Amino acid sequence: MGWVRRLFGLPSFAGSTNALLVELMLPTLTEVQRAELKKRVIDYLQNTKSPTRSAEEALAILNDASRITQLNLLARAMKELGYKPPLATERLKRVRDPFAIDLVDERTLRAEARRLKWAHGIDPVIGEDPINFDSW
């Protein structure tokens, strides 16, 4: 079904789900978990985008990314590390490219937020500003 989405340029519900679930998880993360996730995301950026990129360059790219991209990168790291979302019946989804322009749009984000509210009684909201990983 993913090929249909890519063929017509439709946004991904997986990206929206990840963004909302990770947003819910952010306040519960410990300092150790934050450091572990930051390291995993920086390693991912160094290994996938450019093998000669330094950790400082990867951190700059991470800080300059949109919040949705950052949340999906964190979801990828959380999934690799075995972190479980705060909602027992939900799971983090696989997203091929967290930097994809069509990863999430407002419509899919609202639809996924409505689904989570209906299913779990919570009203998740994405923060407006990108995360500053320098302070993590």
CA distance 75 to 85: 9
Residue 3 has pLDDT above 80, yes or no: no
pLDDT band at 136 (very low <50, low <70, confident <90, very high): confident
Half-sphere exposure of 62 (CA within 13 A, CB side): 28
CA angle 45, 40, 112 (to 5 degrees): 85
CB 103 within 8 A of CB 69: yes
10: tokens are 């439709």
pLDDT for 7: 47
pLDDT for 101: 84
Query: What average pLDDT does this structure show over 84-110?
Result: 90
119: tokens are 């299913």
pTM assigned to the model: 0.88
pLDDT for 109: 93
CA-only gyration radius of the chain, Å: 15
Q: What is the pLDDT of residues 8-29, one digit of tens each?
A: 455 568 999 999 999 999 999 9
Higher pLDDT, 133 or 51: 133
Most confident of 22-36, 47-61, 93-107: 22-36
